[in-house]
Structures are given as C-alpha cells and as structure tokens.
Amino acid sequence: MTRGVGDVVMVETLADAWERWGRRCAGLTAAQWRARTRCEGWDVRSLVAHVCPEVTTFESLAAATVSGDAAVTDAAQLLRIFNQPDGVATTTAGRIAERAATEATALTPEDAANRFAECARRVRAMPEMTRPRDTVIRYPVVGSTTLAVVAEVALMEATVHLLDLAAAVGDVEPSGAALTATRDLLVAVPDPVAIVEVLAGRREPAAAVPAIH
C-alpha cells in the first residue's frame, strides 16, 4: 500500500529525491565529501555510497518479476519485519556500514551525481512503474513484494538520508511530498496504540521510536 499516494506521484517523488541528491553531490567540495555525518562511522561519501542506487538495479527488478500475489503488499509491514530485534536491519547493520565505507573509496561526487540522475531517469521510464502495485517481484526474507512497496521504502531511505546530508553540508532539502510520504510510512511502522500514546504525550517516546534502525 502507498499511503494515500498514487503510483505516478510516488514514482515522480522518488525520481525528484534522487535528482536532489545528484545536484547536491555535483556541488560538493573535497572537504564536504569527507565531512562527518550524524550517522556513526560515516562521512558524506560513505552516506552517499549507501544511498546511491545502482543503474543495474532496474534490470534486476525487471528480471525478478513473478506471477501471483505478493507476500507483502505494505511498506510498513516490510519495515516491521526487517526491523524486528532479530531482523536483517539489526543483524546486518554492521555489514551494511562496512560495505558503504568500502564502496565509498571508489566513488567520486561526479560519479554519484551521474548515477542519481540516470536512476531518476530510469525509474520514470521503467514500464513496470506505471502500475507498481500490480507488479510482484521476488524479495529477500519475505519472499515477494510489489514494486510499489520497494519504491516507497526507497523514497523513505532517500529522504531520511537526505536530511542527514543536509545536516552535514547544508544547501539541500527533501520535497514536501517526500517528507509527507516518509512521515506517514514511519508513523505506520510501530504498534498503533503505542505511537498514538507517544504522540499524545501519554507514553515515553522509547515505546514507539525509533521505528527503524
């Protein structure tokens, strides 16, 4: 499910988010490229390496298409599964951080800017993205999900980490549509009673946040 956001809007918002990343990467100085971020252990180039999509991802997604119903059709459910105490977001966090740091050594701001721009173009042009809720693909851990779920999670990642980039070097911000979609997704991840009571001041924030790791 894409929380109140249509397929075309979601795809366009994701493409726009990647273009914002690309424009900011194109303007990074050498000092900014190595600036520390609030993500522990990551400088800006490691953060960029973590978020920057691979152009080959689109061929992989198309090849992963399967028939039948998806096991997971809600991005909040996918995040809930991945962020369980023994879920992959927790158990692989160290490896993900190390991988970003390793990949960053071979990445330049120009390379990143080009990849973000090309992936924005490709996501708009991908035929399956015209109705991503109807396209089912194989997916790790859960077996299968839809392209709409993948796009919604990708937008959340791009938006949260764009705020990290802004905190580190400034001169960039997510779109209003990206912030709204990300907020709505993250609020949907915790137990509904817990998040309502936290937001209403009835419980401590630790009862519901952080929603993801």
pTM over 0.85? The answer is yes
In this prediction, residue 93 carries a pLDDT of 61
Decide if 123 is inside a domain: yes
Q: Tell me the helix, strand and coil percentages in the chain, rounded to 5.
A: 65, 5, 30
* Strand ranges in the chain using DSSP code E only, listed in sequence order: 65-66, 136-139, 143-146
Beta strands in 26-112 (DSSP E): 65-66
- Residue-wise pLDDT tens digits, 15-64: 999 999 999 999 999 999 999 999 999 999 999 999 999 999 999 998 99
Question: What is the CB-side half-sphere exposure of residue 118 using CA atoms within 13 A?
Answer: 13
What is the pLDDT at residue 126? 93
The answer as to whether 213 is a domain residue is no
Of residues 142 and 91, more confidently modeled: 142
Q: How far apart are CA 76 and CA 103, in angstroms?
A: 28
Q: Is residue 115 part of a domain?
A: yes
CA distance 213 to 186: 11
Number of domains the chain is built from: 1
Looking up residue 113, the CATH number of its domain turns out to be 1.20.120.450
Q: Which of 24, 54, 15 is nearest to 178 (CA)?
A: 15
Tens digit of pLDDT for each residue in 170-211?
A: 999 999 999 999 999 999 999 999 999 999 999 999 999 999
Enumerate residues 6+ apart whose C-beta is below 8 A from 172. Answer: 20, 21, 23, 24, 162, 165, 166
- 107 in a domain, yes or no? yes
| Domain containing residue 76 | 7-207
- CA distances in angstroms from 76 to 32, 72, 170, 184, 189, listed in the order given: 33, 10, 29, 9, 5
- The verdict on residue 131 lying in a domain is yes
**How many C-beta atoms surround the C-beta of residue 105 within 10 A?**
9
Instruction: Evaluate whether residue 2 is within a structural domain.
Output: no
Helix (H) or strand (E) holding 140: none
Strand order, beta sheet including 136-139: 65-66, 136-139, 143-146
What is the 8-class DSSP label of residue 190?
S
pLDDT at 99: 80
73 within domain boundaries: yes
**Is residue 93 included in any domain, yes or no?**
yes
